[in-house]
Amino acid sequence: MNEVPETDQRCGFVAVVGAPNAGKSTLVNALVGTKVSIVSPKVQTTRFRVMGIAMVGEAQVVLVDTPGIFAPKKRLERAMVAAAWGGTNDADHICLLIDAAKGYDDESRAIVDKLKETKRQAILVLNKVDLVKRDKLLGLTAQLDAEGIFTDVFMISALKGDGIDDLLAHLGKLVSPGPWMFPEDQVSDLPQRLLAAEITREKAFIALYQELPYSLHVETEKWEEKEDGSARIDQVIYVERESQKPIVLGKAGRQIKSIGASARQELEELLERRVHLFIHIKVREDWSEKRGHYSEIGLDFDS
């Protein structure tokens, strides 16, 4: 499977952590070079750990995209934060991503305090530096460096791709000698069915930004390979109340058609083939309190 000798291979896990909306998923996608984790302007879009796999020469860097870390109130939020810290605890290295435009806020400070408590060091990655004046950026860097837990500092714009190559090269040097954990051409640990559901959830999050997203869940119910090489994908968007169905449908069904069209287009680009996407809306009352839902996406119901 692998062309390089096993003794020359390197591999390691790097957790990407940070407050909600710091840009973690955007960074992981940029480092991998393709989309493995969904992105939206809404905070807490990522609900579970997603692994993105980046190759740097003979080094395989397994990036663990984690949910945003914040003070949770609901069961789903507690499970998301537990998954984030679980990804950090299991990783060989940690990148703490901080939104430079927001600065060193309370959420980032709480993460730093937790890393201190667990005696973990991290690489400081300041994101969105293109939005911050140089003097403010230098002051922020000095403030964070004084915490004493950062081994290196990188300034990037995950959205624009600035600084990504330098960060990836550094991570490639950090990981330890050892066999690769995944095939060389694999970019994520997500099964295609789950990735497809996540893409539709992203489009719904974007379309329903002000109205619904946290009450919404998407599942791929059926995946059929067609003789012409295309794929038929049947999905269900679950909402928690009957009154939420019309919001997803939109007037004359225009909202759900728009969500489906956007999802289908991206799926065709990712799968490099034609996709027939069929989306239905169903009510699953209080899905965020159902134990089975958590096991499906790898979250701990009892967190």
What would the 3-class secondary structure string for the chain be? CCCCCHHHCEEEEEEEEECCCCCHHHHHHHHHCCCCCCCCCCCCCCCCCEEEEEEECCEEEEEEECCCCCCCCCHHHHHHHHHHHHHHHHCCEEEEEEECCCCCCHHHHHHHHHHHHCCCCEEEEEECHHHCCHHHHHHHHHHHHCCCCEEEEEECECCCCECHHHHHHHHHHHCEECCCCCCCCCCECCCHHHHHHHHHHHHHHHHCCCCCHHHEEEEEEEEEECCCCCEEEEEEEEECCHHHHHHHHCHHHHHHHHHHHHHHHHHHHHHCCCEEEEEEEEECCCHHHCHHHHHHCCCCCCC
Binding site feature residues for GTP: 18-25, 65-69, 127-130
Decide: 56 and 169 in contact? Cβ < 8 Å.
yes
Place of tokens 């796999």: 53
Q: Are 144 and 123 in contact (CB under 8 A)?
A: no
| Alpha-carbon span 251 to 114, nearest angstrom | 47
Cite the annotated binding site by residue number: 18-25, 65-69, 127-130
